Structure 1
Amino acid sequence: MTRSASLVLCLLLASTSSLAAEPAPDEGRSWHRLVGILQYLQADYPAAVESRSAFELAEQTSFANEAVETARDLGPTGSAFVARVQAIQERVSHGQDAEGVSRDCAALVEDLVMAGGLARSPRHPPDLKQGAALYQANCAACHGADGRAQVAIAETMEPRAASFHDAERMDGITPYKAFNTTSFGVPGTAMPAYPTLSEDERWSMAFFLFTLRQPPCEGAPPSISLERLANSTDTQLARQYGEKNVACLRRHMPDADEERSLLTARHGVGEALRLGAAGDSAAAKTALLDAYLNGLEPVEPKLRARDPQLISRLEAAFLQARISAEKGSPKLQEDGRELLSLLDQARNSSGDTASMLSVVWLTLLILLREGFEATIIVTALLAALKKMGAMEQVRVVHIGWVSALFVGALAYVLGRHLLAGAQREWLEGLTALVAVGMLMYAALWLNARANVSSFMGELRQRMQGALGRGSTTGLFIIAFTSVLRESFETAIFLQGLAVDSATGVAWGSLLGVVVILLLVFAVSRMGYRLPMKTLFSVSTVVLMATAVILLGKGLHAMQEVGVVPLAPIRFITVDMLGLYPDMMSLLPQLLLALAPVLWVWSRRRPRGERVESAPESGATRAPPLQ
C-alpha cells in the first residue's frame, strides 16, 4: 500500500468512526491549540536539532510558524504572548538554541494556562472502558490493537506511527498532551484531529493510551488528583509514587470528595463566564457565589491547612470576580480565567496526604491560632473576677467556655457536612457579630468597675449588687460566644486534617490543649498581681480590640455569602487581625475603634465643674455603669 493511500485510510477511519458523536465546542480552543504546539516543540525540538535531520527541522519550523499564527488568534488577552512565540519561532527557523527553546516553551505553556484559565485535566473521571472502545475504533488501524504500531500501514508513514510501548516516546507524553493531540492532530503527519468526539471521550481515549504498556494492577493505588495524573509522565509518577504503583495509578481513576468539590467550583466559574459573556451579570454573580459556597468552601479547611497562601489567593480571586460581575465589567473574563487557574493549582495537590508528624504540627498551630483570641478574652475576665472576689461569676465564665468547647467537639464528631458551605459562613459570621456586641458590653462593664470610687472593701460589699442576674447571664454569653466561633472553625479544620491522619489530629489536639491551659494559667497568675486599675484598663483594651477584629471577620463572612455588598479599596489583608481591603468592613471597624476615644472625650467635664471629692488616685472620673 502506498504512503498516500495509508494516510487516506487512517483519515477515513478517524472520520467515519466519530460521525456518531455530537459536536462539542471547546472553551479556549485556540489557547489549547497553542499550548499543544508548544508542548511538541518543548519535547521534540532538541532531538531534531541533535539529529540535524532536514525533514525533522522543517517539521519543527512548521510547528513554530503555526504557533505564531495561533497566538495571533488569541485576541486582545493573548496579544502579549505573540512576541514571545515569535522569539521562539526565530530560533527554531535557524535550528538554534535547543535547550533555550525547550525551556522557553515550557515557561510559556504555564503562562498561557494561567492567562487562559485552561483546564489541563478532565472535568469528570475518565471512563477507561469507553476509552478502549474509542481507541479500537479510531487508533488501532495505525497504532495497532495493542499500541505497538506493528501493522503494515505504520511502516509506510513518515514519520512512523508512534508505539505506546516505547519508553523513550512515552517519557515525553502526558495524558494532557495526548488529549491535545486527539483534539488538534499533528500537522504534516498522518495523525488527524478528532473534533467530533466530545471532550470526555477524548480524555477517556487519552488516559486509556497509558494503560497499554502497563501490567495488571496489584493492590490499591496511592491517593492522587486527576490534575496531577493528567499532567504527569509515567516516569514522573514512578519517581514520586514508586514504579510498582504506576500500573494502578494508570488503571484506576481517582474520584475523591475533594476533587469533586473543586470540579464543582470550576464548573460554576465556567458557567459564570458564559453568563457574563451573554450579558447576564446578575446570574453570573449568583453562579460565582454558588461556586464558592458549594465548591471551594466545603474543602477550604483542608486546603488552608495545606497551603494557606493559595486559599487566600482563591478567596481574593472569587471576591474580585464577583465585583466584576456586579459591575457588568468585561474584566470578568480575565478574572474568571485567573480563578480557574488557581482552582487547578488546588486540584493539583488535592490528592496529597500529609504525614502524621506534619498533621500533629498543623493541628497544634491551628489550635493555638484559633484559641488565642478566645483564651485572651476568657483569661482577662477570670483575672478580673478573681481579683474582685466574685467567685460565683468565675464559675459562670468557666461554664460558658466549656460549653462552647463541647459544642465544637460535637461539631467535629458530626462532621463538616452539617457545617459546610453557606451554613458555616453564616454561623461564623453571625457568631462573630454577636460576640462583638457582647465584648463591647464586657468592656463597658470592666470600665465601670475601674471607675468605682470606693476602697476594695466597699467594692467587694457592693459586688453582689453590681453583678446581678443580668450580668451573670452576660458573662456566660461572653465566654460562650467568644469561644464558640473559634471552636466551630477549629472543628472544621481538624475534620479536614483527620482525613490524612486521625492519630496526628489526636496528638496535636492534646499538645494544643496543654499549651492553651498553660497560657490560661500564666495570664491568670499575672492578673492576680496586677493593680485593679491596670488590670481593668488592660482588659478593657483587649476586649475592645478583639471586638474590632471579630467585627471585620463577621462582616467578611457575610460578604462571602452575599449578604453584605462588596466595596473593595487598596489595603492590606491580615486575616488574623480581621483586616480586609474592603470599605464595608474597614469603616465599621474604624468607627468601633474610635468609639471608646470619643466616649471618653465626651465624658470630660470643664475644670470649674469638677467634683471636689476626687476618686482614688489614677482612676478616671466617668461614673460606674451598673
Structure 2
Amino acid sequence: MFNKTALFMLLLTLSFSAFASMPVQKLLQLIDYVGVDYREAIKDEQVINPEEYREMQDFVLAIQESIDRLNLTEQSLIEQAATLKSLVNSKADPGVVAELTTTMHQQIITNYNIQIIPLKKPDFVIAKQLYAKNCIACHGVKGEGDGPLSQTLEPLPTNFLDRERYRERTLYGLFNTITQGVSGTGMPAFSQLTEHERWSLAFYIGQIAVQEEEAAAGSALWESKGHHLLSTVEQLTTLTPAQLEASSGSDAVLTLAYLRRHPEALVSNNRSPLDFSIQELEASRLAYSSGEVDKAYDLAVNAYLEGFELIENSLDAIDSDLRRQIEAEMTTYRNLIRKQKSEAAVSAAFTSLKSLLETAKSSLSKTRLSEKTAFMSAMVIILREGLEALLVVAALAAFLVKTGRREGLIYLYGGLIVALLMGGLTWVVSTTLIEIGGASRELTEGVAAITAALVLFYVGFWMHNKTSAAQWKHFIESSIKKALSKETLWGIAALSFIAVYREVFESVLFYQALWVQTNGDGQSMIVYGLIVATTILILLAWLIMKYSTRLPLRQFFAVSGGFMFILAVVFAGKGISALQEAGKIPLDPVPLPSIELLGIYPNYQGLIVQSMMVILAILMIIRDNRKQRKRLE
C-alpha cells in the first residue's frame, strides 16, 4: 500500500528546507571576505601583500566551485563569479571588486531568502563578555589585531579599527564570519554560540571603528530626519558605509554609525510582527517604485510570512473579520506587484494595507495581556492545526484494529511519537540555533501536505477497491496479514509522521509568536489552553475509534475510503496555499468564500488542482466499478 522509503524521503525534504540556506551562507561569507580584504592585497594594480593576494585567488576559485556545487543556475551569478575571478587575477581596482561583490551579495540574499537580521536587540553586555573570552587573544583589547597570539597567525588578525575595512564591512558579513569562521586562517567558527550571541558580537565588533563625533552627529540626524535615510533593520545589517555614502550621502553614513552604536533605536527585543510587516511592506513599495519588481515581491511575501502570519491566530480570537480582510489585501498587494500594475495602484494598496495593520496592532495591544485571549488563542492553534492530523491517525488506527493488525499500531504510534519529538527539536533549533524563515516554513508545510495528499488519495482508492463483494472476499481469503506487509506498515508510520509533523511544525512557530505577546499570567493560560485543546482532540480520537470500528468490514472500507479521498483534497488545497504563501507558485483569487477547515481557498490554482482530484477520483471509481461488474457477468 505504501513505499517504505516514504519516511526517509520526507525527513530528507524537511531537513533540507530548514537547513538548506547554510551552504549558501558560506558562499556569501566568501564573497564578502573578498570584497573587504582584497584591498589589503592590491594597490594601484600592484600586489602589496603576496600572501593575501594568493588567498584572494583561492577564494574566487572557491566561490565558483560553491556555485557549481550548490547548482545555483542563475546565469547572471555564474557570469559575475567569472568576472570576479578575472578582476582578481588582473589585479583590478579594489573599488571595482567591492562593487561587484556587493551586487552578488544582494542578489543571493534576495533569491535565496537568507535570514539577514537579528530577531531581538543585540546585547552589548553579553557581547563584551564574549569578546573578552573569545577574541582578545587574537584581536587585542581595543580590536587593533594586536592580541598576544596575533604574531603566531598568518594572515594577521583583522584590525577592527581600520577605517577602510570599516567602510566596506556589513554587520551581516561579520555575523556570517563569526558563524562560519574563515578557512585557512586562525579565525574559527563560533557555531556553538546562540544566534543572539553571534549577532550581539557582530554588532559590538561592527561599532569599534565608529568615532564619538560620528555617533553624536548620527544621533542628531536620527532624532530629526534620519528615518528616511536609514529606516529598516535590513539596511542596518546589509549596507556598508561606502554603499550608503554613494546612494544617500554622508548623513546616512553618520546615521549608520549611530545605529551601530545604538541598535536598540531600530531593533526591539519584542518587535511586533505587525511592525515588521509594515516595515517590509514599506521597503517593498520603495523597491517597486525603483523598478525592482522581484525584490518588491519577495519583501511583500516576507511581510506576510515573517510578520502577519505569526499573529493570525491571536487576531482571529478577537477580530476574525479583520484577520480575513488583511489576508485578502496582502494577497491583492502581492498580485499587483506580480502583474506589474501601476505604481499608483501599488501605493494605494500599500496605504490601505498599512491602515489595516495599524488597526490590528491597536486591537492586539489592548488585549495583549488578556489571559482569556491567550487561552483562546492557544486552544484555536491546537484545535485548528491538530484536527487534520488527528483524523488521519485515528482513521489509520481504526483500520489496523478493524483488520486485526493491532501490532501495526506500534508503527502508527511510532510515527506519531517521532513527529512530536521532531516538533520539540524544531522548537529548540528555532529558538537557539537558527531562525526557520517563513519561506522555509511554508515550503516545508507545502511539500508535506502535497505528499500526504498523494498518499491519502492512493489509500482512499485502495480502500474503495475492497468494497466490492469479490474484492472484499478475496481480501479476507488472502489473509489480512499478508496484505499488510512490512512495507505497508512502514508506509503507515510515514503517513502518520507526515500528518502529525506538518501540524506540529506550524504550531510550534505560532506558539513562539503567541508566547512573546503575553506576560507571565498569560503564558500560564497558553499552557492551560494547550492542555484543554489536547484533551478535546484525545476525546475525538476515542469517539472515532469507538464508533468506526463497529461498522462491518466492507462498510468500514467504504466509509474510510471516502474519508481518505476527502482528506486528500483538503491536504492538496492546504499544500497549494502554503506554496503560494512562500511565493513559489502564483495566486490568482476568485470571488468565492474561503473554507479553511476543508482546505478550500478562493484562488484558481488550488481550486483547479482540487477539482482535478475530485474528477480523477470519480473516474477511477467508475472504472473500478465497471471492472467489478464485468467480473460478475
Q: Is the contact between residue 292 and residue 318 of structure 1 (CA under 8 Å) also seen in structure 2?
A: yes
| Superimposed CA distance per residue, residues 563-603 of structure 1 (whole angstroms, 9 cap, x where no aligned partner) | 11122222211222211121111100111122211112223
Shift in Å at residue 290 of structure 1? 3.3
Q: Is the contact between residue 279 and residue 328 of structure 1 (CA under 8 Å) also seen in structure 2?
A: no
From 386, 396, 402, the counterpart of 2:411:
396
The equivalences for 1:436-515 within 5 A come to 436-451=453-468, 453=470, 459=476, 462-499=479-516, 500=518, 501-515=522-536
Find the aligned partners of 2:295 and 2:511 in 1 and give their Cα distance. 35
Shift in Å at residue 203 of structure 1? 11
Amino acid across the alignment from 1:292: Y
Question: Do the aligned partners of residues 540 and 472 (structure 1) sit closer, same or farther apart at CA in structure 2, a change above 3 Å counting?
Answer: same
Amino acid across the alignment from 1:601: I
Unaligned 5+ runs, structure 1: 1-124, 126-196, 205-251, 613-626
From 275, 290, 295, the counterpart of 2:302:
290
Residue matched to 1:586: 607
Task: Work out which of the two has the higher radius of gyration on C-alpha atoms and give 1 or 2.
Answer: 1
Find the aligned partners of 2:475 and 2:276 in 1 and give their Cα distance. 65
Q: Is 2:362 aligned against 1:345?
A: no
Q: Is the contact between residue 311 and residue 514 of structure 2 (CA under 8 Å) also seen in structure 1?
A: no
What is the SS of the residue equivalent to 2:549?
helix
Q: Is 2:322 aligned against 1:310?
A: yes
Q: Is the contact between residue 276 and residue 325 of structure 1 (CA under 8 Å) also seen in structure 2?
A: yes
| Superimposed CA distance per residue, residues 213-262 of structure 1 (whole angstroms, 9 cap, x where no aligned partner) | xxxxxxxxxxxxxxxxxxxxxxxxxxxxxxxxxxxxxxx99975554543
Find the aligned partners of 1:254 and 1:355 in 2 and give their Cα distance. 27
| Superimposed CA distance per residue, residues 463-497 of structure 1 (whole angstroms, 9 cap, x where no aligned partner) | 12211122111111111111121122222232233
Residue matched to 1:334: 348
Bigger RCO (CA 8 Å, 6+ sep)? 2
Q: Is the contact between residue 428 and residue 554 of structure 1 (CA under 8 Å) also seen in structure 2?
A: yes
Shift in Å at residue 263 of structure 1? 3.0
| Superimposed CA distance per residue, residues 143-169 of structure 1 (whole angstroms, 9 cap, x where no aligned partner) | xxxxxxxxxxxxxxxxxxxxxxxxxxx
Find the aligned partners of 2:600 and 2:335 in 1 and give their Cα distance. 19
Find the aligned partners of 1:544 and 1:468 in 2 and give their Cα distance. 23
Shift in Å at residue 385 of structure 1? 1.7
Find the aligned partners of 1:264 and 1:594 in 2 and give their Cα distance. 42
Amino acid across the alignment from 1:323: N
Question: Do the aligned partners of residues 606 and 422 (structure 1) sit closer, same or farther apart at CA in structure 2, a change above 3 Å counting?
Answer: closer
Shift in Å at residue 359 of structure 1? 2.4
What is the SS of the residue equivalent to 1:453?
helix
The equivalences for 1:529-608 within 5 A come to 529-605=550-626
| Superimposed CA distance per residue, residues 352-410 of structure 1 (whole angstroms, 9 cap, x where no aligned partner) | 42333442333233322222222222211211221110112222112222322232233
Question: Do the aligned partners of residues 587 and 201 (structure 1) sit closer, same or farther apart at CA in structure 2, a change above 3 Å counting?
Answer: same
Find the aligned partners of 1:564 and 1:423 in 2 and give their Cα distance. 14
TM-score (norm 2): 0.53
Question: Do the aligned partners of residues 198 and 274 (structure 1) sit closer, same or farther apart at CA in structure 2, a change above 3 Å counting?
Answer: same
Find the aligned partners of 2:282 and 2:398 in 1 and give their Cα distance. 54
Residue matched to 2:202: none
Unaligned 5+ runs, structure 2: 1-120, 122-219, 228-263
What is the SS of the residue equivalent to 2:479?
helix
Q: Is 2:286 aligned against 1:274?
A: yes
Question: Do the aligned partners of residues 332 and 342 (structure 1) sit closer, same or farther apart at CA in structure 2, a change above 3 Å counting?
Answer: same
Amino acid across the alignment from 1:326: R
Residue matched to 1:385: 400
What is the SS of the residue equivalent to 1:605?
helix
The equivalences for 1:36-115 within 5 A come to none
Question: Do the aligned partners of residues 438 and 605 (structure 1) sit closer, same or farther apart at CA in structure 2, a change above 3 Å counting?
Answer: closer
Q: Is the contact between residue 573 and residue 580 of structure 1 (CA under 8 Å) also seen in structure 2?
A: yes
| Superimposed CA distance per residue, residues 169-222 of structure 1 (whole angstroms, 9 cap, x where no aligned partner) | xxxxxxxxxxxxxxxxxxxxxxxxxxxx97852799xxxxxxxxxxxxxxxxxx
Find the aligned partners of 1:313 and 1:546 in 2 and give their Cα distance. 27
TM-score (norm 1): 0.54
- Corresponding residue pairs, total: 371
Residue matched to 1:80: none
Stretch deviating more after TM superposition (305-314 or 471-480): 305-314
Find the aligned partners of 1:458 and 1:262 in 2 and give their Cα distance. 56
Residue matched to 2:379: 364
Shift in Å at residue 306 of structure 1? 5.2
From 414, 420, 424, the counterpart of 1:405:
420
Q: Is the contact between residue 280 and residue 299 of structure 2 (CA under 8 Å) also seen in structure 1?
A: yes
Shift in Å at residue 551 of structure 1? 0.9
Shift in Å at residue 443 of structure 1? 1.4
Residue matched to 1:164: none
Identity across the alignment (%) = 27
